[in-house]
Structure 1
Amino acid sequence: MVFTPVLTVPPLAMQGQPITVNWTAVDTASSYTLQRKADTDEDWAQVYSGAELTFAETAGAWTSVQYRVQAVFSDSTSDWAASASIPVVSASALVISGQDGDLGTLVNDVPYSVSSDTGNQISLELRVNGALWTALEVSSGYAQSIPVIDLPTGAGTIDILATVQASTGAVSAARAWTYTKTPVTTSAGPCDVVEWQDATGAVKFPVTLAEAVRIPGGKTLDQVTQLPAQICTGSYVGTGTYGKDDPTEITFPFVPDLWGILGYFTNNKRSWVRGQSQLVPWGISATGLFTTAGSATTNFEGTTVSLYSDTGADYQGNGNNQIYYYIGIKIG
């Protein structure tokens, strides 16, 4: 009895993407013959002959395709095992920018985009060196860049997988890149980095703290918040004076939306925190800033905040020889 291989094909294919066909082994078979018939073909065409049990090819500009396989023996062949017709959707159903291959030595961010003419949301996965970096749902036309500063040095891989629901089923597209990144070196000994620019003069070194903070997925804090966040910190030593005519004053390099002072004492600590436009619920009363035994009145003139207390120097952040730390945050 001559046995026929069992053929397995995908339920759906997309133009320009691989179609993988598999079949089972048959005892005593020396090889297998695989044929394909697309809607653009007049007859069956042989696409593979050999001992392997799998074959892959790139889908052409077809709307459907069918495969059949037979086992070849020393003196005979088996019957053909034919697949059902496989729908092939247009390449425009899902497109990832670029071409597979080696990106070379990276010096700039790696841009990419995904688009679909289905009108449906696209599931996107981005992996670097096999590790999942990003998994999210995006709309057609989504464009993003992989920051070169976030990529590991040495030889690496970047893989993008996108999936969308087409009229005939879910289709996927993939992009595979390799790259090399060399570490950035500086001269030996202490150095001051004033500004790092590329060949066009664009500043590449983070300008603000928000740009330096990296969020999982490669974005920076300022990209996530879409705000030019700025932070200023400092300290001072109290002189022991207090009162309306001798307030404690701090001048920031910007008008802060939130500011605070923290003072450490022998047995406890006291803090003052408030927003520029509204009070925040930490150490504040409706009439002003307060501590456990008194309150302080605050006032803003431009970028300078002043506070005073009639209760004592400790309560306006000016205790004699005490160290105080302050912070100002601008988020908009």
Structure 2
Amino acid sequence: MSRPPTFTPPPCATPRTLHTARGDFAILDALPPKTTEGTEDTKGTASTGAAQGAESRKGTGNTGDTAGTVLLLPGFTGSKEDFIALLEPLAAAGYRAVAVDGRGQYESPGPDDEAAYAQEELARDVLAQAAALREAPADAPGPHGEAHRPPRLHLLGHSLGGQIARAAALLEPRAFASLTLMSSGPAAITPAQQSRAKILADALAALSMDVVWQAMRAMDPPPPEDTDTGGAKAGGGDDSEALRARWLRHNPAQLIATSKQLSTEPDRVAELAAAALPTHVISGESDDTWPVPLLDDMARRLHAHRTVIQGADHSPNTDRPEETAAALISFWNHLGDITS
């Protein structure tokens, strides 16, 4: 289970509801700092890499135009808060960063029917989210009075979110400027992880969410002492209550359906390669869900940009957020330079 460094978003991010043609979704919406023409406010930049990214995007802050919009999809049992540590550096570099709870995840509602969480349904949710983010009021001109240009929209998915993102990109590749697969492999998870996923799905089908939570915590290592959830007890870093609250708000039907997807996902790398969408494969230096050599091979098959974040495991977004943000910014900026 992912552990965000905090459940409190940075000042640049607003928790709100994204209204789409397929329903409402809870998001964290991080906007670039306001700028004047030719200047960039990089206050709050979290890394040298992010500062360099902001420098290369002067004049693309919150003046009616940005370097682009980034839609961030969390993984299995995760939520939009998994990206909290990335929001500020991405916004400082000129990107609008939107982290979303998919249907049935944490603060986004979802039905109790497993069929509602079929991968294609979740992928079409992503397309609806992207469409909603592209929409702009008719009276929202660009910085010089010109017609508003729909933002370039980059899609990123972590783990399960990467497989949903891939499905969305295959349905409508022109909807996205790029696709980033973060710790998300070419097909099903490892056999050991498949066994764990089945145990969890079987437990969820028979037991309450709270009972399953207690069993998972009994098997988990103790939380890191420096974790600050914004809701932990004073004087302590125990993230148990915040994580428990998130877990209890997940819909068990979503967890059961997506656990099965992770264990049966086919290899669709050739399809994605044929879509010719700029792709970035990013991971930690170790991963027990999809082995790193498998991710390396997937990147080669996709002719994708490849980044390995040293010191990170399955969740580089929480393990090494500064280095991860810098790598993402560099990739997106390079694409912007090519197409500008």
Taking structure 2 as the reference length, the TM-score comes to 0.19
Report the structure, 1 or 2, having the larger helix content. Answer: 2
Bigger-Rg structure (1/2): 1
Taking structure 1 as the reference length, the TM-score comes to 0.20
Report the structure, 1 or 2, having the larger strand content. Answer: 1
